[in-house]
């Protein structure tokens, strides 16, 4: 009799600890940046395809572009708080696991010891799901760092493609200490070389004020998803003081 009670309690304990769904954390899409370079997790707009100009500069250094990712994260874990226990199922996402592949599903083999897959730091907080729904949050991080740019481009082109698939898994931890990992979210990104290098002509610059020219050249993500950049900015005409 005692043995049966112990076994039953053990089974009950294991079952109660496994209280998270297999897909409690999910990536629901890729968000576009707003006009002020922020993210809105409440928008209904999603990106459908990434475009990456590998010639875009990184700071003052040309041809070492980086590629940012902005996943929409969702938390489906329900509340387990009680009168004597604080909420344990709020979720903090701390990293993204990334695997780079060609469109045929093969992992990219990168030179110089560059790992693939690899992990990048991310930061997002998602409260528990409410009323059988889910909570959402936006995250942003560099999905392909500058140190990978040339190696990724060479490997993709050598394989006969102009597109890389960024497979993303979000990783987080609940306040109760349980690790959550999302399913893989594939993000196709087409590579180009110089397609967003769109400098104003010198004639255009002659007709612009310094402030207007700066606004024209402003870009949230230079060389990515339609954001222009300019390797060689035109000079403004000298200001003539009568």
Contact indicator for 216, 228 with CB cutoff of 8 Å: no
For residue 112, give every residue at least 6 positions away whose Cβ sits within 8 Å of its Cβ, in sequence order, or none.
151
Contact indicator for 195, 65 with CB cutoff of 8 Å: no
pLDDT in tens, the chain (242 residues): 454 444 443 333 333 344 445 578 999 999 998 878 889 988 999 998 999 998 887 655 555 578 999 999 999 887 666 656 666 788 899 999 999 999 999 999 999 889 999 999 999 998 887 777 888 999 999 999 988 999 999 999 999 999 999 999 999 988 878 889 999 999 999 999 888 887 766 666 666 666 566 655 667 888 888 887 776 555 544 544 54
Radius of gyration of the chain (CA): 24
Q: Please provide the CATH number assigned to the domain covering 21-194.
A: 2.70.50
Domain ranges of the chain: 21-194
- Cα separation, 38 vs 148, whole angstroms: 25
Instruction: Determine the pLDDT at residue 178.
Output: 85
């Amino acid at each position: 009799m005692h043995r049966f009670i112990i076994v039953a309690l053990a089974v009950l304990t294991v079952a109660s600890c496994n209280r998270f769904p297999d897909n409690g954390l999910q990536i629901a899409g890729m968000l576009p940046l707003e006009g002020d370079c922020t993210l809105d997790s409440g928008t209904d707009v999603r990106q459908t395809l990434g475009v990456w100009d590998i010639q875009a500069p990184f700071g003052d250094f040309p041809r070492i572009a980086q590629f940012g990712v902005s996943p929409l994260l969702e938390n489906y874990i329900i509340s387990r708080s009680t009168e004597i226990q604080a909420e344990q199922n709020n979720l903090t996402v701390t990293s993204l696991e990334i695997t780079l592949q060609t469109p045929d599903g093969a992992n990219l083999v990168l030179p110089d010891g560059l790992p693939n897959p690899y992990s990048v730091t991310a930061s997002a907080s998602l409260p528990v799901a409410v009323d059988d729904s889910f909570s959402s949050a936006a995250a942003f991080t560099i999905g392909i760092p500058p140190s990978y740019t040339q190696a990724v481009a060479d490997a993709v082109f050598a394989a006969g493609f102009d597109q890389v698939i960024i497979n993303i898994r979000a990783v987080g931890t609940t306040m109760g200490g349980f690790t959550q990992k999302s399913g893989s979210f594939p993000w196709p990104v087409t590579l180009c070389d110089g397609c967003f290098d769109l400098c104003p002509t010198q004639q255009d610059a002659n007709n612009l004020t310094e402030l207007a020219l700066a606004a024209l050249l402003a870009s949230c993500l230079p060389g990515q998803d339609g954001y222009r950049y300019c390797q060689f900015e035109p000079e403004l005409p000298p200001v003539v003081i009568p």
